[in-house]
């Protein structure tokens, strides 16, 4: 049995989705959804794990990664406020197993909706349908972006793009991370990242210190 979302979450839900969903759908989400809070570093979903709910992100950031059989990883994209996992839609019709890993990048709040409702709402709420297809579109674009980067860019360009993206997602020019972290996200080695970062520093584009990269210009290469 369900209890309605508490005020705190209702307000945030409204901030993130109120402008796009019709009131009846918002009511439905409040009635059905379960609120969840995650802390930075939490593993929200792993590869192969069964998908049972759709997350609607109210706050924070979630990092979506791919991993191969050898344990090699690659960052795909971030989910932010107003986003959801577009792959759940199609999973819900077929596999129901996650093909990606989702870890919490910044403390996050979200509302979880059981998969069963997704389909029902498609017919009931036009704004839900629009949101679903818009999410799928956004994710397909992210995939194409990833493919472009991997196929067409050199590592220094991928690094610059990564930093730019990180600034966008966090909204800060101060990137608090280690070279090792970046190496994992880009699927390269720490030494390579240090080398290329040092190059960017020599060009005056960033400033390096321990656990911190300060971006000096969004003009980062290109």
Contact 98, 47 (CB under 8 A): yes
- Taking CB under 7 A as the criterion, the residue among 36, 66, 195, 216 binding DNA is 195
207 lies in the binding site for DNA (CB under 7 A):
no
Among 43, 50, 116, 150, binds its own copies (CB under 8 A): 150
Q: Of 22-30, 136-144, 159-167, 196-204, which part binds its own copies (CB under 8 A)? A: 136-144
CA distance 142 to 40: 23
Site string for DNA, 142-171 (x = CB under 7 A): ------------xxx---------------
120 touching its own copies, by CB under 8 A? no
148 interacts with, out of DNA, its own copies, none, CB within 5 to 8 A per kind = its own copies
Smaller CB separation from its own copies, 141 or 214? 141
Tokens of 87: 């792959």
Nearer to DNA, 123 or 204 (CB): 204
Q: Single out the residue of 134, 189, 214, 217 in contact with DNA (rule: CB under 7 A).
A: 189
Q: Of these, 27, 95, 189, 211, which contacts its own copies (CB under 8 A)?
A: 95
Minimal distance, residue 156 CB to DNA, in Å: 5
User: Among candidates 161, 174, 170, which has minimal Cα distance to 213?
Assistant: 174
Partner whose footprint covers residue 178, from its own copies, DNA, none (CB < 5 to 8 Å by kind): DNA
Interface residues toward its own copies, by CB under 8 A = 66, 68, 70, 72, 74, 76, 87, 89-95, 99-100, 119, 122-123, 129-130, 133-134, 136-137, 139-141, 143-144, 146-148, 150-152, 187
């Amino acid at each position: 049995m369900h209890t309605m979302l508490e005020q705190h979450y209702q307000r945030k839900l409204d901030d993130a989705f109120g402008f796009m969903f019709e009131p009846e759908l918002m009511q439905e989400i409040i009635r059905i959804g379960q609120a969840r809070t995650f802390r930075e570093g939490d593993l929200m979903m792993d590869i192969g794990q069964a998908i049972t709910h759709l997350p609607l992100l109210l706050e924070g950031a979630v990092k979506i990664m791919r991993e191969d059989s050898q344990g090699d990883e690659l960052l795909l994209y971030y989910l932010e406020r107003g986003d959801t996992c577009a792959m759940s839609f199609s999973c819900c019709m077929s596999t129901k197993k996650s093909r990606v890993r989702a870890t919490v990048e910044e403390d996050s709040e979200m509302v979880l909706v059981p998969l069963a409702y997704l389909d029902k709402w498609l017919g009931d709420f036009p704004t839900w349908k629009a949101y679903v297809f818009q999410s799928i579109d956004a994710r397909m674009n992210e995939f194409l972006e990833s493919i472009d980067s991997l196929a067409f860019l050199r590592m220094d360009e991928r690094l610059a793009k990564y930093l730019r993206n990180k600034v966008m997602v966090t909204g800060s020019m101060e990137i608090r991370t280690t070279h090792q972290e970046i190496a994992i996200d880009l699927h390269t080695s720490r030494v390579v990242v240090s080398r290329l970062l040092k190059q960017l520093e020599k060009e005056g584009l960033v400033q390096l210190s321990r656990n911190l990269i300060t971006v000096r210009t969004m003009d980062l290469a290109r």
